[in-house]
Amino acid sequence: AQSVTQLGSHVSVSEGALVLLRCNYSSSVPPYLFWYVQYPNQGLQLLLKYTSAATLVKGINGFEAEFKKSETSFHLTKPSAHMSDAAEYFCAVSGPGANSKLTFGKGITLSVRP
Amino acid sequence: KAGVTQTPRYLIKTRGQQVTLSCSPISGHRSVSWYQQTPGQGLQFLFEYFSETQRNKGNFPGRFSGRQFSNSRSEMNVSTLELGDSALYLCASRAEENQPQHFGDGTRLSIL
């Protein structure tokens, strides 16, 4: 079984500040990990993915995440927040194999203060 | 390349009715998954179809069903609608296993 924990439901940062969104996972098999972003009235957009290659993964819009097996974590970071980053962010885990389903965390709402 | 297309974008139904939602995947994608998103429960997996066969299923009652056609388009049906079925229903497609899923903008279903 797999699960994802995203601590806190809301993070607020100032424009230009570091963004750090935490994600911890639980998986009985080597995980595949994803971060998605959702803007109001839209579907989910893939930010980045980890599928057992490099542990530091770079995504779109300046985001990156580091897979740390020892900490079972996959935290999302961005050095400098922009107003357009305000959205809801979801971490998700799946296992290898065709029959593995994608399990999402509860999501974190990111607010960016001017 | 066109993205995942879901129709309609908005639906209003009353309790007891049934509804059918449609999803057209990205061209070449044979896997289609459906999710329910609500403020209380978050994103919950409904089912996945691959080459017209249901490959995986979440923990939803039998009122929720789906199917996939030979062109990979998928439909989801909910019968005997309940107030709690009000949600954003998202469809996602992917090319192969272990590839990321690509989402449509969803159908927002409101039950009165």
Check residue A53 and give its pLDDT: 75
Section A101-108 average pLDDT: 93
Is residue A28 pLDDT above 90, yes or no?
no
Picking from B33, B100, B106, the nearest residue to A43 by CB comes out as B106
Is residue B14's pLDDT more than 90?
Answer: yes
Task: Calculate how close chain A gets to B91, using CA atoms only, in Å.
Answer: 9
What's the mean pLDDT in A21-39?
Answer: 91
* Whether pLDDT at B48 is above 90: yes
pLDDT digits (tens, 9 = 90+) for A37-86: 999 888 999 999 998 778 899 999 999 999 999 999 999 999 999 999 99
Mean pLDDT, residues B23-27? 97
**Residue among B49, B57, B53 nearest B25 (CA):** B49
In this predicted structure, what is the pLDDT of residue A31?
A: 86
Give the dihedral of Cα atoms A5, A7, A8, A10; nearest 10 deg.
-80
List, in order, residues 6 or more apart from B38 with CB less than 8 Å away. Answer: B44, B86, B87, B88
For B49-62, write each residue's pLDDT tens digit.
Answer: 999 999 989 999 99
Helices (H) and strands (E) in chain B, counts: 0, 11
| A104 contacts chain B (CB < 8 A) | yes
**Do B21 and B106 meet the contact criterion of CB atoms below 8 Å apart?**
no
On whether any CB of chain B is under 8 Å from the CB of A98, the answer is yes
DSSP A85: G
Contact A11, A111 (CB under 8 A): yes
Q: Are B97 and A97 in contact (CB under 8 A)?
A: yes
